[in-house]
């Protein structure tokens, strides 16, 4: 990994083991590097699955495989390859996915559709099947690893491993949820963020887990952007082993369903923020809240227009309260807006309203706010009750350096 992001947490969190989930890592040597690059997670029989995948029209064969398998609702293993996206690789890419699924299914004595796969890295290079199969053999024989090792192994340009943990009570029984995620660039998911995986010991119906994950996604992974680019490989999967012993959840009317849903949403939000904090070259974490829009969808589109603007992002990197760039981004969003009703704030300080700057506003607290690492930008359109919050990072020279050298 490259130099650790200045926005990274102090340390990887202490994550509990999840009953029925056993992670392993191995070296498939997809690239010329001295690190593990294949993650294999074995799941007990009876595990159910839910997932969301990229909106890209050029998805990887792994994404297509997962899309076909998710509705079936059952899972026995997860395989994640790092260093090769296996995307835009034609029939060879699909053959590699089928070979990996078949090998794991034969190892576990289950159906290939119970095996879920993801790959991340360079696009356009077929995944070498012989390396994948050798990596799987090594993973089958490897001892169980820590969540931190698993999180490290799924990374590519990430500068730190990302994980989070929440818990909930269902019928008086405590259930645990653990998540790991990778992502640093090519982040503007219209569903999810690069590759993310949630594991829980809760007993829950697969269709209810799918509803909860889809709702949580709309409030988390679909509200982040690093560079406005959507990956071919974005996938978030949730696996529930049912080993906690709680009364099984089958509908939102069941006791504890609300608490578990809140836990899933909280975990997704934590994981999505970890990705933004590792945005390639990032030095500032930016929260953009738009209110007063005609509706929530309009507010969301305006907020993303601001978050994806290179001019806004570079101004914040330079600690410049150039609110004119925010006006620009609101105006280009294609959503209803009235210049003379627009208000803009940085932190707690309103800097513009009614189509012009606030007269004699104190720049000192604004300057102090922009020197920090956590930046808040507020926009009020004054048109209605629509509201949305998105999260992004600034744009620095580091982003160019990382991506100019990506294939090297």
Known binding positions = 156, 182, 193, 280, 403, 408
**What is the rounded distance in angstroms from the CA atom of residue 147 to the CA atom of residue 351?**
45
> Binding site for substrate: residue ranges?
156, 182, 193, 280, 403, 408
Q: Is 67 helix (H, G, I), strand (E, B) or coil?
A: helix
CB 288 within 8 A of CB 330: no
Candidates 162, 215, 209; CA nearest to 184 is 162
Q: Is 173 helix (H, G, I), strand (E, B) or coil?
A: strand
Structure tokens at 98: 């089928």
**What is the rounded distance in angstroms from the CA atom of residue 132 to the CA atom of residue 142?**
15
Which distant-in-sequence residues (6+ apart) come within 8 Å of 32 by Cβ? none
Candidates 263, 158, 122, 114; CA nearest to 202 is 263
Candidates 240, 271, 242, 235; CA nearest to 117 is 235
DSSP state of 29: -
Residue tagged active-site, from 39, 53, 120, 193: 193
**What is the rounded distance in angstroms from the CA atom of residue 361 to the CA atom of residue 365?**
10
Q: What angle do CA 70, 74, 78 make, to 5 degrees?
A: 75
Longest C-alpha distance within the chain, in Å? 72
Candidates 160, 157, 151, 150; CA nearest to 6 is 160
Pairing of strands 343-346, 374-380: antiparallel
CB 234 within 8 A of CB 193: yes
Relative orientation angle of helices 323-332 and 310-317, to the nearest 10 degrees: 160
Residue the block writes with tokens 């590699």: 96
**Cα 138 from chain centroid (whole Å):** 28
Is residue 396 part of the annotated active site? The answer reads no
Is the dihedral angle over the CA atoms 243, 155, 195, 263 positive or is it negative? positive
Centre a 10 Å sphere on the Cβ of residue 320 and count the other Cβ atoms it contains. Answer: 12
Residues identified as active-site: 193
């Amino acid at each position: 990994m490259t130099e650790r992001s200045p926005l990274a947490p102090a340390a990887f969190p202490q994550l509990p083991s999840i009953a029925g989930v056993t992670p392993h890592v191995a070296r498939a040597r997809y690239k010329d590097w001295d690190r593990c690059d294949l993650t294999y997670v074995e799941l007990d029989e009876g595990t159910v699955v839910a997932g969301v995948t990229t909106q890209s029209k050029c998805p990887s064969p792994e994404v297509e495989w997962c899309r076909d398998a998710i509705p079936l609702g059952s899972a026995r293993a997860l395989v994640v390859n790092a260093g090769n996206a296996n995307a835009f690789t034609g029939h060879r890419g699909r053959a590699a996915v089928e070979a990996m699924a078949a090998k794991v299914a034969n190892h576990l004595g289950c159906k290939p559709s119970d095996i879920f796969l993801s790959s991340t890295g360079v696009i356009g290079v077929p995944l070498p099947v012989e390396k994948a199969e050798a990596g799987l053999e090594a993973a089958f024989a490897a001892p169980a690893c820590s969540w931190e090792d698993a999180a490290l192994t799924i990374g590519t340009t990430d500068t730190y491993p990302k994980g989070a943990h929440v818990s909930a009570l269902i019928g008086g029984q405590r259930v645990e949820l653990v998540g790991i995620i990778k992502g640093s660039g090519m982040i503007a998911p219209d569903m999810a963020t690069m590759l993310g995986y949630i594991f829980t010991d809760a007993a829950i119906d697969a269709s209810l887990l799918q509803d909860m994950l889809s709702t949580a996604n709309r409030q988390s992974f679909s509200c982040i952007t690093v560079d406005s680019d959507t990956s071919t490989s974005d996938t978030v999967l949730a696996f529930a082993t049912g080993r906690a012993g709680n009364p099984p959840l089958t509908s939102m009317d069941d006791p504890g369903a609300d608490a578990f849903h809140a836990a899933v949403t909280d975990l997704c939000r934590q994981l999505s923020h970890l990705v933004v904090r590792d945005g390639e070259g990032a030095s500032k974490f930016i929260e953009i809240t738009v209110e007063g829009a005609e509706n929530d969808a309009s507010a969301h589109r305006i907020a993303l227009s601001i978050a994806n603007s290179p001019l806004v992002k570079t101004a914040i990197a330079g600690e410049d309260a150039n609110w004119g760039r925010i006006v620009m981004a609101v105006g280009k969003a294609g959503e209803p807006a009235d210049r003379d009703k627009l208000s803009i704030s940085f932190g707690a300080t309103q800097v513009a309203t009614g189509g012009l700057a606030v007269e004699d506003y104190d720049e000192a607290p604004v300057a102090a706010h922009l020197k920090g690492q956590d930046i808040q930008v507020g926009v009020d359109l004054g048109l209605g009750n629509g509201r949305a919050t998105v999260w992004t990072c600034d744009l620095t020279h580091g982003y160019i350096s990382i991506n100019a050298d990506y294939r090297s």
